[in-house]
Amino acid sequence: MKNLLIILSVLFLTLLIVKPVDAAAPTKQQMKGSIAKAEKYYEGLYQSVGDGKAVINEYYSNLKHTYTIRHGIMGGIYFYQYIGDSKKENALKNFIAQYNLNSSNDLHSYIWKETDKGQENLYSEQPYYDCGLTLPIIGDEFPYHSKVCKLGTAGEDFYITATKEDTLVPTIVQIQALEAGTAVDMSIVTDLQNKYNNLGFGMPICYMSMCANVASTIRTAEFGDLELRLGNMNYADKVASQLIKAQNDQGAVYFSYDRDGHLKDNKPFVYDLIDAALNDQPVYSGYIPTNAETMNDVLAFLLRYDCAKYNVCK
């Protein structure tokens, strides 16, 4: 009995040791440095494509790159619009105009600013408009094909249903509700908070009731943005600190990170199977710390947070 009590005491102390400590809000100077590095890195992801610009999906190298209409170029439009660089903003707009698209045609447009798409059904095929596009290979740039585009109608339905069990789209749906002036679903907000709190240092990717044991940066940034809009600065402070902790010296915020802020990728088993079956083969097999989609959402959140916290608004 005595030995059992000792074992239980050790286990209890171990749980106390590994329990994450709430991160303090980053200082104004830390925010300034982090945003400056992130902006520089993000701009480095842009490569010339024809008469416009495109964003690569992977770490740039001297090999071929992928460019993305959805998330990549759309996010870039909002970024340059936000910082007031009309030349680069228009270059990106000119590129997508060839395909009769405008800058609001993206799932991630909500994190940047208010949009006129408050009634879009994000649990449908609507956000995946690029599946119907035939995009060219231009020089060393070729289009990235989303996995949802390869599934067919039945597969699309499965993928869309699966997004309801994940943390990304449900978070964006609540941001969408706020922008449309409608009530958020507090049961979903609470569920997101629980998943964030359970991991302790960010928001995990979840599929079929299984969640990863590392933080997904893009999901963490979207969650921070939602909580910031809801006025929950405690969550927003922690998210800002965690994202800065996961940023390397070059400015990249890792697309996925562990408790210590180190790059680590560990998706649920089902998601790994989907990735293996449907993702394009990588064009670069070296070190890839992040991607354009992740940096887009991180910057959007950090800029909004800096404005709300320290009144540093661009």
pTM attached to this predicted model: 0.83
128 — pLDDT class (breaks 50, 70, 90): confident
pLDDT(2) > 50: no
Contacts for 134 with CB less than 8 Å, ≥ 6 apart: none
Question: Tokens 């910082």 sit at which residue?
Answer: 83
Q: Which residue has the higher pLDDT, 200 or 76?
A: 200
pLDDT(52) > 70: no
Identity of residue 262: H
160 within some domain: yes
Number of domains in the chain: 1
Q: Which residue has the higher pLDDT, 47 or 148?
A: 148
> Helices 186-199 and 217-229: crossing angle, nearest 10°?
130
Say which range, 75-84, 277-286, 290-299, has the weakest mean pLDDT.
277-286
18 within some domain: no
130 within some domain: yes
90 within some domain: yes
Burial of residue 118 (CB within 10 Å: 0-12, 13-18, 19+) is middle
Tell me phi and psi for residue 313, to 5 degrees.
-120, 130
| Domain carrying residue 35 | 25-310
* Whole-number Å distance between alpha carbons of 202 and 206: 13
The average confidence (pLDDT) of the chain is 78
166 within some domain: yes
pLDDT, tens digit (0-9, with 9 covering 90-100), for 202-256: 999 998 778 999 999 999 999 999 999 999 999 999 999 999 999 999 899 999 9
275 within some domain: yes
* Whole-number Å distance between alpha carbons of 252 and 128: 26
pLDDT at residue 92, rounded to an integer: 82
Mean pLDDT of 119-130: 76
170 within some domain: yes
CB 236 within 8 Å of CB 307: no
pLDDT at residue 270, rounded to an integer: 56
pLDDT at residue 136, rounded to an integer: 76
pLDDT, tens digit (0-9, with 9 covering 90-100), for 55-97: 444 433 334 566 777 777 788 888 888 878 888 888 888 888 8
CB 206 within 8 Å of CB 164: no
9 within some domain: no
pLDDT at residue 21, rounded to an integer: 44
What count of Cα atoms within 13 Å lies in the side-chain half-sphere of residue 209? 0
Contacts for 304 with CB less than 8 Å, ≥ 6 apart: 111, 225, 228
